Amino acid sequence: MITTNLSPAALTADNHTSIPLEQLMKNIAVQETLYRYVHVNLWENNITPDEQDKVAVTTYVARFMSNCGYDIKLHNDAIFEYFQEHFEGWTESTWDKVNQDYKRTLKNLLRRRGIYIRTGRKNGSSVQQFLSLQTISDPPTWPEGDFLKQQFDKGTEAYTTKMEMKRAAATAAVAFKPSPSPTAAAPVPPPVVQDSAAVPLPAAPLEAYTMLPPADIPNVTIGANAQLSFARLWDRNMKYTGEPYDLLDDKLRIFMRICYNLQIKPGQFHALLPQILTGRAQTYYVDHINWTGTFRTAYDSLKQHFETEVNHRHYYTDWITTTFNKLRAEHPTKSPHKVLQLLFDKLQLCQRALGKDFAGDLPLRYTLVRACRGVPELAFALYDPPDNIETLFSHLRSCLETHLARGTSTRYAQGPQSHYLDRRYSNNHASGRGISRGCGWNYSQGYRGSRPWSKKCFVCGEEGCWSTQHTAEEQQKAKAQCLAHCHFASVPLVDFSAYVMAYEGDEMDGPDDWNEEEHSWE
């Protein structure tokens, strides 16, 4: 039996609050005689799942219910997330220490705030359902019958949805109420049953499901079945939050596509709009938007409040400063392909956020080309970028794929000793003991026999110097310039390494210095 004496936990706890227990408990639907199962000295104490003191555990549950009682905004997804955070790690043993009346009150509170928990002993204990709520990613779906019977707290999303369903049902009942027959003897025709497959699409033109901003259409009531069908199809993760880069128009395009598929008329959009809002957007809708207003009115209010000039400047800054090199530095563990895709996605998101003034392929093409400047792997694709943005995307991907597939040339990637062996192999080709590879042209023999000028460094153009004496960055820059020139002149260059060796010659190219026995390929 619980006594009025302090529990061991209360004896060692600091009294963090001077508020009377009666005031803390006034928003919890329990009788005052049950106050003895909690203690004010434990009110602000956080406990661990292995807490053994029943008073401390029950007080922790009471604090959760009190906080929810003071904040009506804790409903649906918000109270679901708060529940998982507050009771994280609780086990069946922890829940068993909570007073039974408080567990019953908690279950009723969650139901009133829109979280479905089954009732009745045959549907399982409250503890098992609490444990399930702690681990699932989305709140359970309400059965239609239970949803219509449940009394929700006013101001919650579930309450608003239920009221809309009731009004729609009442309007439908009045609209289809049969008129009295003029004569008792008049025959009553049998009811016509329409094949569901023959139900026509909405009478509204397709433009009403694609136009943004939407047309200002008078409201029309919507049936309960249509609302439930929409709720099943809408992804909770796609709700509009009002945060930067969470674009209202993006969410509404998905919203209207679902409405079109469900044959929901544009005049009924207003009733479904609250279902796609969460976070700041949902709070603003509840506090500042008249739910009887048209869909266009609500759209304009959300746009004006969340898509501010400050956000627009933020989007524009990202639009002009985002580059491939910047994203690669921010994501060092990602592959170049993924960085390139991040760049595509980021710039397209910025473009949509900036609005119609930045729409079209031309602004995106210009910004994408600028963002890829200075990237050796993409230099080929930027030499003559196509006008079509999808073609440009494809060229950039192909250029990067080609660069990665070929890898860095052996001449640039390997150390001096490895390069020295390559030169020896080239001389073997020249002496007739090697087989020319690549495009079928023996660069070593061809250029040695026909070019009248002296051998020069491929990087600096000086005689007596070789590219191996330059830094890797200088080598890569010279290579990119050469490839760009070949691309412009439509000259194929299959074996770049062979071309450079033929261009520069060999540091041991003199016939007097070359010892065939000593330097033969082994």
Query: What is the residue-level pLDDT of the chain in tens, covering all 522 positions?
Result: 344 445 554 444 444 557 888 888 888 888 888 888 998 888 888 999 999 999 999 999 999 999 888 887 888 888 999 999 999 999 999 999 999 999 989 999 999 999 998 887 666 788 888 998 988 888 888 887 788 888 899 888 888 888 877 776 665 555 445 545 444 444 555 554 444 444 444 446 788 899 888 988 899 888 888 899 999 899 988 999 999 999 999 999 999 999 999 999 999 999 999 999 999 999 999 999 998 899 999 999 999 999 888 888 999 999 999 999 999 999 999 999 899 999 999 999 999 999 888 988 889 989 999 999 888 888 888 888 888 889 999 989 888 888 877 764 444 444 444 444 444 444 444 444 333 333 333 433 443 444 444 667 878 878 778 788 888 888 888 888 777 666 655 556 656 776 777 777 655 444 444 343 433 333
User: Taking phi first (over 0 means left), then psi (-120 to 50 degrees means alpha), and beta for anything else, what does residue 73 get?
Assistant: alpha
CA distance 358 to 17: 56
| CA-based radius of gyration for the chain | 37
Within 10 Å of residue 315's Cβ, how many Cβ atoms? 21
Beta bridge partners of 98: none
pLDDT at position 273 is 93
Q: Is 68:74 a contact under the CB 8 Å cutoff?
A: yes
Where do we find the tokens 């330059």? 470
CA distance 408 to 415: 12
pLDDT at position 122 is 65
pLDDT at position 274 is 93
pLDDT at position 207 is 84
Comparing C-alpha atoms, which of 230, 201, 202, 198 is closest to residue 217? 202
pTM over 0.75: no
Q: Is 141:116 a contact under the CB 8 Å cutoff?
A: yes
Structure tokens at 78: 């918000």
Beta bridge partners of 277: 240
Per-residue CA distances from 315 to 195, 246, 322, 428, 454 (Å):
50, 12, 10, 60, 55
Residues 6+ apart with CB under 8 A from 135: none
Rounded to the nearest 10 degrees, how much is the dihedral formed by the CA atoms of 515, 518, 519, 521? 130
Amino acid making up residue 307: E
